[in-house]
Structure 1
Amino acid sequence: MSSLSQSAAHSDEQPASLVEDEASLLKQPKAVWAVFFACIIAFMGIGLVDPILPALAEQLDASHSEVTLLFTSYNAVMAIAMLITGWISGRIGIKWTLLSGILIIAVFSALGGLSNDIWTLVSLRGGWGLGNALFVATALAAIVSLSKSGTARAIILYEAAIGLGISVGPLLGGWLGAMTWRGPFLGVATLMVVAFIGLSVLMPKQKPSNTAKAKASLLDPFRALKHRSLFVFGITAALYNFGFFTLLAYSPFVMGLDEHGLGFVFLGWGILLAVTSVFMAPKLQLKFGTIKSICIMLFFFAVLLAVMGIWTSTQWVVIAAVILAGAMLGNNNTLITTAVMNAAPVERSTASAAYSFLRFLGGAIAPFMAGKLSEIFNPHVPFYVGAGFVLLAVVFIMMNEKHVKHVDEIGAGH
């Protein structure tokens, strides 16, 4: 097997279109599947706590806004930590950065399962976010580097792992959470140990000292944001994440379901997210172009959030809207991730870090804001505000189309 640096150099030669015909998506080295499996488990952590949010509020005597801080601390630490992922991976290598992230997630999720109050749990979720940042930013670069089927197919594989993790997470969280709210946290810790062993065995060794990433600076992500295209995609993601995390962190409180019920709802959401990210997004990109497709998906997502705001008290409407939103988000995630990887002439890991910093800042503010808005006003308001931010994302990317249209031109050049 070629080294990571050789594979990365090879992947840079691949065309950036979402539709590639060179190799089967499933014909990948074992190392890719090891990272893929670890990605699934890592992204379980996002949706795993969803089904237990109402139970946490009741059993730990916490308000809705206090419980949503589990997402805020997680995303805030992840956003800041994204800025140092490239610097760290350049010094210890992709493999050890991944393993460090997995180990941190395992430790903090286990400690979370052993905690006894909401504030300790919120703090530990922040540590979980640090581990996730090290893993997530590096996993995308690892899959792209190790994959033999080109950049776009590698990104689709990465998005599929995200979709599977996000969909299976709530189901597992609901099942374990029905026994005890501690179950989901201890479950992730156990699965992360399995992922750690798998990556240790299957990922090739890499000497970071001879790579360009070894010279990475902590300022690289900020320098990368000077490229207007990358900045535009980052701000767009930050804005639509207000809607994403309003749905993820707040909707469980208004559905009136138990842990199992919430688990199944978010399973449906996650399945649609996974399927569309792999099968539908490439077709949309080919038919309408990347930028137009992103705008269409975000517009329909804003409509669904508005529908949830209008009919917040009608259980079946909220459930249906949550599940359908998975399709909009699955398409958008693949489209915008692919666009980011080709938006600016910088290292993919640096582009990912800069974009993720802005993206998760939105994800940090939104959950707590949604909980507070519901307490100050009423349960409808968080969904209206989320819809407004998503529409703002559409307006922002359309206003800056001239700075990002080259992404479609790269795809058309395939």
Structure 2
Amino acid sequence: MSGPHGKTASPFRQPKAVWAVAFACVISFMGIGLVDPILPALAQSLHASPSQVSLLFSSYLVVTAVAMLIVGWFSSRFGAKRTLVIGLAIIVVFSALAGTSGSVDGIVGFRAGWGLGNALFIATSLAVIVASASGGFGGAIILYEAALGLGIAVGPLLGGELGAISWRGPFFGVAVLMAIALVATLAFVPSLPKPERRTSPIAPLKALRHRGLLTMGIMALLYNWGFFTMLGYAPYPMELSAHELGLVFTGWGLLVAAFSVFFAPRLQARFGTAPVLYANLLGLSVVMAVIAAGVSNPTVVIVAVIVSGAFIGINNTLTTQAVMLVAPVERPVASSSYGFLRFIGGGLAPYVAGKLADAGGLSVPFYLGAGTFLLAIPVLASGHRLLRQAEQHAGAGEPVVPTLTPVGDAPCGGTAPVVVAVGDHHQAAAIVDAAARLARETGSPLEVVHVQQTAVVEEQTADTETGDQARAAVTTHLDRLAARGIAATGQILSSVGDHAAAGRVLAQHAAEVNARAVAVGRSPRGPVVQFTEGSFTTALTRSSRCTVVLVDPDSTPRHLTMEALTELRGSTV
């Protein structure tokens, strides 16, 4: 997300376009969990077996998987808004048709159409939110993450409530809500420029030739096999009503959202991506084995399913991070390749699980799911070296760990500089000017570091700005300072989704240049979001060996001496 900024900006101060797409995101993320509470009722009402009903997942996910291969090409050809609108319209039509159907086969077919619409929507929703945001890039990503968490948590609850009235209720509910989102998108989202370069429709498949991306994709396929086995078959041994199933899966969804947003980034920063994934996959295997062994005890199944939400939340976040680390191709292409494999695993699992359950009993698919979670560990381990190397080097010509790139003249050695870190924000110039006063009063040169970040949310990525835009921002600061006779140099600090790591890299750089002080602005993301993702300023302050000055450009500047400066760690200038 955005780097260190000026005064805190509320993520909720966004234009109507952002709110329209965020609302649609909530409904879209409800899509999978929404049908879980009605699976037993659906089977009973339509006189279908669990294996037949499981095809609701298979058709939806297999079509989504195949569509992921072409959505990048489609979006680059027709534009993000048009792709978004088409996706929403398809979801409205096919979810309504599923509600009117009188057979399992009909619902399965309409769910396939729903999957196509969902693929078009999820491939462009994050990009549209970011492009439409005026309340700051960071605020837009916060809203997207909030929509994701809310959809996952509320989907089963809404499905249970509507399913308690009729199994048709969730389908009609999605159709109505998505229709509202479609109208809002048409009314409020502006037309967005098409990408300068079109994506090839075969690029995602060609990208799978790269070992790192293929390894992570197969690991995701195995993980999703186990995940959707549980999602598709766990409701049956619970022996609960639609309303009660909705409450169970709401508890599960809350843990998914909490551990995905709050705990996964902290664990990743503490232990590293691969070790956390190893432990997490082992934990999921154990939970699935418990479900298999206790399949005749509803209480055991209920508790195990809810607990699995914690592991699933961690895995969803870190697997995508790992894919983006090892992929030696453009991130949208990597997202499509990864999405294809993971959705294929999710789509095939319920079908195979149904056949196994019919032949050998309900515990068999859960044991297989436990096995696929376990098998994912050696698959991930086969790419361990690639993942470790990727965490230290760049891929596809872009940095995957925070790196500094000089802009203009290199910093002059000798005199300890004042370093100021700013992001793409309307108060960046005011923060740089405040740091310039600090440098002048201490007789120090100034170094401007522009923070350029890429966010990773689920399988989607979004850039704050292009490399050329980041370079232009630094050049603008330097030209403005030069016109006032202030000596300054520039750097671009590039980072992918890890604020704390960027802060530590800046602290290391400050130590290398023997900086007199580092000046930063206030983060716009708020204390809760900073806790979940890691705070740039906190990591910088803890790692820095020099003074860190928090600049508030709205306050009245004070004249500072170096004696006073040593007392200013974390204070406001």
TM over 0.5: yes
Q: Does 1:103 align with 2:86?
A: no
1:68, distance to aligned residue in structure 2 (A): 0.2
Q: Is the 8 A contact 2:325 2:391 kept in 1?
A: no
Q: Does 1:337 align with 2:320?
A: yes
The one-letter code of the counterpart of 1:139 is S
What is the SS of the residue equivalent to 1:187?
A: helix
Q: Does 1:282 align with 2:265?
A: yes
Q: Does 1:74 align with 2:57?
A: no
1:408, distance to aligned residue in structure 2 (A): 3.2
1:223, distance to aligned residue in structure 2 (A): 2.0
Deviations 1:222-281 (A, max 9, x none): 122223222222111110011110111100011000100100000000011111111111
What is the SS of the residue equivalent to 2:226?
A: helix
Partner of 1:35: 21
1:344, distance to aligned residue in structure 2 (A): 2.3
Identity of aligned residues (%): 52
Equivalent-residue separation in structure 2 for 1:362 and 1:288 (angstroms):
28
Partner of 1:54: 40
The one-letter code of the counterpart of 1:38 is A
What is the SS of the residue equivalent to 2:191?
A: coil
* Cα gap change, 1:388 to 1:107, in 2 (>3 Å): same
Q: Is the 8 A contact 1:98 1:139 kept in 2?
A: yes
Q: Does 1:132 align with 2:115?
A: no
1:198, distance to aligned residue in structure 2 (A): 2.6
Equivalent-residue separation in structure 1 for 2:267 and 2:10 (angstroms):
18
1:184, distance to aligned residue in structure 2 (A): 0.6
Equivalent-residue separation in structure 2 for 1:246 and 1:268 (angstroms):
18
Q: Is the 8 A contact 1:160 1:277 kept in 2?
A: no
> Normalized per residue, which structure has more strand?
2
TM-score, with length taken from structure 2? 0.65
Of the three residues 165, 175, 182, the one matched with 2:151 is 165
The one-letter code of the counterpart of 2:121 is F
What is the SS of the residue equivalent to 1:109?
A: helix
Identify which range, 220-229 or 75-84, moves more after superposition: 220-229
Equivalent-residue separation in structure 1 for 2:215 and 2:9 (angstroms):
32
TM-score, with length taken from structure 1? 0.89
Q: Does 1:64 align with 2:42?
A: no
Equivalent-residue separation in structure 2 for 1:412 and 1:332 (angstroms):
23
* Cα gap change, 1:232 to 1:140, in 2 (>3 Å): farther
Q: Does 1:205 align with 2:191?
A: yes
Equivalent-residue separation in structure 2 for 1:353 and 1:379 (angstroms):
33
Equivalent-residue separation in structure 2 for 1:340 and 1:327 (angstroms):
21
Of the three residues 310, 317, 320, the one matched with 1:327 is 310
Equivalent-residue separation in structure 2 for 1:25 and 1:74 (angstroms):
37
Equivalent-residue separation in structure 1 for 2:39 and 2:193 (angstroms):
43
* Cα gap change, 1:78 to 1:296, in 2 (>3 Å): same
Q: Is the 8 A contact 2:14 2:140 kept in 1?
A: no
Equivalent-residue separation in structure 1 for 2:126 and 2:375 (angstroms):
28
Q: Is the 8 A contact 2:12 2:143 kept in 1?
A: no
Q: Does 1:223 align with 2:223?
A: no
1:46, distance to aligned residue in structure 2 (A): 0.7
Q: Does 1:404 align with 2:387?
A: yes
* Cα gap change, 1:223 to 1:157, in 2 (>3 Å): farther
Q: Is the 8 A contact 2:130 2:140 kept in 1?
A: yes
1:382, distance to aligned residue in structure 2 (A): 1.1
Q: Does 1:187 align with 2:176?
A: no
Higher relative contact order (CA 8 A, sep 6+): 1
Equivalent-residue separation in structure 1 for 2:307 and 2:101 (angstroms):
35
Partner of 2:285: 302
Q: Is the 8 A contact 1:156 1:334 kept in 2?
A: no
The one-letter code of the counterpart of 1:319 is I
Q: Is the 8 A contact 1:54 1:253 kept in 2?
A: yes
Of the three residues 18, 26, 38, the one matched with 2:11 is 26
Gaps of 5+ in 1: 1-10, 15-19
* Cα gap change, 1:156 to 1:328, in 2 (>3 Å): farther
The one-letter code of the counterpart of 1:263 is G
* Cα gap change, 1:280 to 1:149, in 2 (>3 Å): farther
The one-letter code of the counterpart of 2:342 is R
> Normalized per residue, which structure has more helix?
1
Aligned CA RMSD, in angstroms, stands at 2.2
Equivalent-residue separation in structure 2 for 1:283 and 1:57 (angstroms):
41
1:145, distance to aligned residue in structure 2 (A): 5.5
1:199, distance to aligned residue in structure 2 (A): 2.3
Larger Cα-atom Rg = 2
What is the SS of the residue equivalent to 2:79?
A: helix
